[in-house]
Each structure stands twice: as structure tokens, then as C-alpha cells.
Amino acid sequence: MTSRTQTLLWVAQRTSAAVLAICVTLHLATIIYAVQGGLTAAEILARTRGNATWLAFYVLFVLAVAVHAPIGLRAIAIEWLGWRGRSRDVALALFAAVLAWTGMRAAIGVFA
Amino acid sequence: MRVSVWKGVAEGSFREFDVPRQASQTVLDVVTYIQRSLDPTLAYRYACRVGMCGSCAMTVNGVPRWTCRTHVDKVVRNDALQVGPLKNLPVIRDLVTDMREFFDKWARAKGQFKGARTKHDDFQPVKPSSLERVQVDAAIECIGCGVCYAACDVVAWNPDYLGPAALNRAWTLVKDVRDEDKGERLRAVAGDAGCHSCHTHMSCTERCPKHLSPTAGIAGLKREVFKAVVKGEL
């Protein structure tokens, strides 16, 4: 992997971290606000179903996680396991795909 | 005062000595006393004794320090001291570490100045007030003692990591308007072995005996590398 690619991965991780800072804050604030008087699954779905704004928000959230987590694990793989090279990068690309797929299913699940 | 000193190579043990306390005594004074009066086989390294050469760094009570400028009064605990070799470097014997990898990494970070002028040209002035120069005013004072390298967690976890001193050196050259090798240097310090692996723990900045901030230099390198990528130069 070239220096340029490694630099771009670093940029992607920092950018996704900035997105996550906003998304996590909004997500937690919404939960705390919404459950004040108790909340059921039906009530959650009533708010999210057909709401394109929430769908867009959670799609962005999921994509940021799918970018951020594998790049962070890449550094941990080097530093804790000494795992480098192509096998690590392929495994982490698959992990990113799993995160994106399962996250998207959840986001679409509460929308559709 | 009880002083335990590392004796051996990678395998070894701490050996205890009784050393008389003196006024204004430094840790280097203590080690020198032990070698001259108690154990002539003790291996340690020093040269200038005044904080200029960067030879005498050791681990004192678990912390990397320059021993010639570290007063016993400031570090002694319960009338005891523990002195060992620097961490993150192979031990040659007792308190002497092998600094080759440390300095090889300076070379790998393109730490050599590469100017365009020859001895036939005039001097190229650098204005002391210019931004580039001001940014590295402190960083150029590095004495290469290895304290930051021994203090760095990332060096301990990732042996390929160039380390704070080599990156600090690269930063001074990236900001040197006379240097012609900026592109190659940025390529050398980018990525997994370079500035992007720094976790900003700031142990290097905390421990640097010259009160420099390699962390700030590494952050500067990240900015410069990013600019080079955006411009398509990397």
C-alpha cells in the first residue's frame, strides 16, 4: 500500500470521526429526549417509517461507522497483533462491508 | 541512598549499591561513582556532562531522562533510585543501548539536508522572523538523546514506526526553505511507519529534556502531507 493510500485512509478516518461526533451526539440526545415518558417499538417505528430525514441521517451514520471502525482496527491489528499486509486489509475490507450491509438493513428496516 | 542498577544485556537483573548523597548530585554523578568506586565493570555512556551531546539518557525510576542534568533530589524516592537502560532500544550491556536503529530511522525519514547550492554560490539567507523558521525554532534544538523514542508507546507497539525524534528532524527540514528534498521526505514520513501512526499520547513532549514538542512537529507533518496529497504531489 502506497504512502498516498495510507494518507487517504488517515484522512477518511479523521473525516468519519468528525461525522460520528455529530451523529452519536444527535442519536443519544434523541434517545434521551424521546424516552422521557417511556417508549415502545411501535412508537419508534411511527416516527421513523417514511421519514426520509431520519433515513438520510442513519445512512450517513452507518457509512461513517463502516469507514471509521475498520481503519481504526487496522492500526490495532499492527500494534497489538503485528498483523500486516494484504490478508489484514482484505479481512478489514470484508468487515467494512459487513458493517455497511447490516447497518443499512437496520436503517432501511425502520424506514420501510 | 540505595541505587539499583541494571546489570546484563536483555537478560540480567538490577544490582543494589549504597551511594553517598552529595549536594547538587546528578544521576550521572551517581552512576559514575558506582563505576569508579564500587563496580568498575559497569558499562554506561556519557560525553559532555552539560546537556548538549545527548549521550547519557537512561531510565531513572521508570522514566527516561538525561542523567547529566537530572538532580537526584528531584527523582529520589524513599532514599532509593533505580537506573536502567533506555526502553525501546536493544541493550548492548548494562546501561548502554544500541542506538543504530534509532539513527537509521532518521535516515529513513530523509533526515539529511539536501541543498541546491554549492560552495561556489553565496549563502542563502533564512530570515529569523519568517514563518517557516519560527515554526521550527525549538525543534532544531534536538540533541538526539533518544528520550522521546524510549517514552513513545507507538514505538513499543510498532517497531517500524520512525519515532518522534526522526519525525521531528524531518519536520525541521520540511520547513527549511533551502532544502530541495521536500517531496521525497513527505513520502518517507507518511503512512503506517510515519506521522499518521502517532496517537498524540504526547509522551515525547512530556519527557523531552529540551522541552521540545515532537508532537507538534508530527501534527505539522500530517498537515504538510495532506496538502501534498490534495495537490497531487504525493
> Where do the domains of chain B lie?
2-97, 100-230
Cβ neighbours of A11 in B, within 8 Å: 226, 229
Unique residue bearing C-alpha cell 520540511? B174
User: B100-230: which CATH topology?
Assistant: Fumarate Reductase Iron-sulfur Protein; Chain B, domain 2 (1.10.1060)
- Which CATH number characterizes residue A22's domain? 1.20.1300
B117 CA: distance to closest CA in chain A (Å): 29
Answer whether A4 sits within 8 Å of B190, measured CB to CB. yes
Mean pLDDT on A31-39: 84
The total of structural domains in chain A comes to 1
A58-102 pLDDT, tens digit each = 999 999 999 999 999 999 999 999 999 999 999 999 999 999 999
Show Cβ contacts of residue B154 under 8 Å, excluding neighbours closer than 6 positions.
Answer: A79, B161, B163, B197, B198, B199, B201
The C-alpha atoms of residue A59 and residue A82 are separated, in whole angstroms, by: 33
Query: Using an 8 Å Cβ cutoff, are B147 and B57 in contact?
Result: yes
CATH of domain B2-97: 3.10.20.30
Q: Which residues of chain B have pLDDT under 50?
A: none
With a CB-CB cutoff of 8 Å, which residues 140-179 of chain B face chain A?
154, 157-158
The C-alpha atoms of residue A1 and residue A87 are separated, in whole angstroms, by: 12
Query: Using an 8 Å Cβ cutoff, are B24 and B71 in contact?
Result: yes
pTM here is: 0.92
Within 10 A of A48 (CB to CB), how many other CB atoms are there? Answer: 18
Amino acid at A55: L
Nearest CB to B196 within list A6, A79, A80: A6
pLDDT reported for residue A1: 86
Domain that holds residue A79: 3-111
Confidence category of residue A44, pLDDT binned at 50, 70, 90: confident
Identify the weakest region by mean pLDDT among A20-24, A40-44, B56-60, B166-170. A40-44
Answer whether B190 sits within 8 Å of A78, measured CB to CB. no
Query: Using an 8 Å Cβ cutoff, are B205 and B212 in contact?
Result: yes
